Structure 1
Amino acid sequence: MIEVRELREMVELERVDALFDDIWHFGPGAPPITIELMRALSHAGGYVAGAFDGDVLVGGSVGFLAADRTLHSHVTGATRRGAGLDLKLHQRRWALERGLERVTWTYDPLVRRNAHFNLAKLGARPVEYLPCFYGILDDAINQGDESDRLLASWPLTAPHVEAPARREPYDLPDPGDAGDAVVALADEGGRPVAAPVGDARRVLVAVPGDVEGLRRSDPGAAKAWRHAVRDVLGGLMAEGHAVTGFSGKRYYVVERA
């Protein structure tokens, strides 16, 4: 059973730093957060937590208070299945205890499992597309890719968030099931192919099956996906259309206004 608790001591923060490096293998001087900043955030009332399986640290998360009664989760990593969900649920309880209304975080829109976890499992929704938000990242996972990110917003008291947080079923229909959905960006043979959607009210935007593997095996294809999703999904969001879900573990669902 995984236990999540807040961390404050330097020896604990050093373990989180080591866990993050084991996950991402950051280059020298390029971690997403330093031990010293974790210490400062924890002391100042920010969010620094670890997930433990017995005495083994299997996940960590660091966040800070943001505007509009929000906790912004800056970095979260886990090495054990289930630890990511436990960390998110701990974040939710922590935020609610402090009168906060939402948790936000950024994630790579090309990573399917993260999109499914964030949108389909947690019920968060992307509210902004951020091109190359952190610049070029050279860690082992990003492989020099441009760091496009989606800003996800998690409304902590919405019914579709509260029920799963209580481990109760919630009948949230797959938004891509409707017959009127039109594919705006398709995966054809591992390559992105955009298509006209006419006046379709609901459109689907595909992402690659394994962009992390693609960065190693075919960097050109990974770059093509990056720019295609930026143009299609980012373009739709810039026009004011809403991302309402992630369908079939492969498509963003966008409702056009």
Structure 2
Amino acid sequence: MSGVGLDATATGVSLRELHRLEELEEVYRLLVEIWQSEPGNAPISVELMRALSHAGNYITGAYLDGRMVGASVGFLAAPAGRALHSHITGTTLGNGVGFALKQHQRLWALDRGLDTITWTYDPLVRRNAHFNLAKLGAFPTEYLPSFYGVMGDAINAGDESDRVLATWPLTVPHVVAAAAGTPYAVDVPVNAVVGLRDRDGRPAPGRTDAEIVLIDLPADIETLRHTDPSTARAWRQALREVLGGLMARGAQVVGFHRKSSYVVRLPA
């Protein structure tokens, strides 16, 4: 594999595939720390990672000064011979570690003749949406209500686990440019309407009767789940109805605007 992206070099992070049992145990401990999971409710087990690794799937650790600061686990997916599904990726640091992991994953997939990586993420989390759509150039392609059921870890705080499926086409020009450090930006026409607005911290449904619809996200849904659970639930339901409803009718999410809003194109 040739290189892992500029961020890995800039931050001094090294990345390597993991196979040994003690390495997988370290991944397990890192992910439990990040998700603050209860005993018996870890994001993924050592045994499953062992099986995935042995079967030729993707498990990689990111290290800074010899200490693991990030990890990613993925498995080969449909369509066979073309796709990798990235099941979980987590880091304890910012500074480009997540970006370096995803670029390592991208090159790993390309080296094996794959052209697509998919993963799920919580569509309410602004920073994740910006990272996935702008920094990487992926697109949400399916809205999945309560995909994992109710999740009791510290990050999800008992919220319903609505997810979107992100699809990352690895060789298209804007993804290649994003890998080189140029985030993907989409032009928003002046006649775009706002389908869901952040009004004083609460969701306010708006219009969806134009070609381009903007959908705002709350500033920090993870904190809101702990400080104001009822408002967090209102955001979940509103996004499910507006974004989920539009995607169910064939609308496409084509970008993320000003680090705060999905840009959605309605079908003609």
User: How does the TM-score come out when normalised to structure 1?
Assistant: 0.96
Q: C-alpha offsets along residues 198-253 of structure 1, whole Å, 9 cap, x if unaligned?
A: 3x100001111000000000000000000000000000000001000010111100
Whether 2:140 is the aligned partner of 1:126: answer: yes
Taking the TM superposition and a 5 Å limit, the aligned residue runs for 1:6-45 are 6-45=17-56
Deviation at 1:256, TM superposition (A): 0.7
Tell whether the 8 Å contact from 2:140 to 2:165 is kept in structure 1 after alignment: yes
User: Unpaired runs of 5+ in structure 2?
Assistant: 1-11
User: How does the TM-score come out when normalised to structure 2?
Assistant: 0.92
Instruction: Return the alpha-carbon distance in structure 2 between the equivalents of residues 24 and 197 of structure 1.
Output: 35
Amino acid at match of 2:260: R
Instruction: Return the alpha-carbon distance in structure 2 between the equivalents of residues 103 and 197 of structure 1.
Output: 30
* Corresponding residue number in structure 2 for 1:235: 245
Taking the TM superposition and a 5 Å limit, the aligned residue runs for 1:1-257 are 1-68=12-79, 69-81=82-94, 82-167=96-181, 169=182, 172-176=184-188, 178-198=189-209, 200-257=210-267
Deviation at 1:164, TM superposition (A): 2.5
Deviation at 1:29, TM superposition (A): 1.4
Q: In structure 2, the residue corresponding to 1:215 is in which secondary structure?
A: helix
Instruction: Return the alpha-carbon distance in structure 2 between the equivalents of residues 251 and 173 of structure 1.
Output: 12
Instruction: Return the alpha-carbon distance in structure 2 between the equivalents of residues 225 and 179 of structure 1.
Output: 26
Amino acid at match of 2:136: L
User: Unpaired runs of 5+ in structure 1?
Assistant: none
Identity rate of aligned residues, in percent?
58
Instruction: Return the alpha-carbon distance in structure 2 between the equivalents of residues 207 and 86 of structure 1.
Output: 26
Instruction: Return the alpha-carbon distance in structure 1 between the equivalents of residues 51 and 120 of structure 2.
Output: 22
Instruction: Return the alpha-carbon distance in structure 2 between the equivalents of residues 151 and 138 of structure 1.
Output: 21
Tell whether the 8 Å contact from 2:74 to 2:87 is kept in structure 1 after alignment: yes
The structure 1 segments of at least 4 consecutive aligned residues displaced by more than 4 Å after TM superposition are none
Deviation at 1:54, TM superposition (A): 2.2
Tell whether the 8 Å contact from 1:17 to 1:35 is kept in structure 2 after alignment: yes
Q: How many residues align?
A: 253
Instruction: Return the alpha-carbon distance in structure 2 between the equivalents of residues 126 and 112 of structure 1.
Output: 14
Deviation at 1:173, TM superposition (A): 3.8
Instruction: Return the alpha-carbon distance in structure 2 between the equivalents of residues 6 and 39 of structure 1.
Output: 12
Instruction: Return the alpha-carbon distance in structure 2 between the equivalents of residues 63 and 173 of structure 1.
Output: 27
Q: In structure 2, the residue corresponding to 1:150 is in which secondary structure?
A: strand
Instruction: Return the alpha-carbon distance in structure 1 between the equivalents of residues 249 and 237 of structure 2.
Output: 17
Tell whether the 8 Å contact from 2:212 to 2:263 is kept in structure 1 after alignment: yes
Coordinate RMSD, CA, aligned? 1.0
Tell whether the 8 Å contact from 1:175 to 1:246 is kept in structure 2 after alignment: no
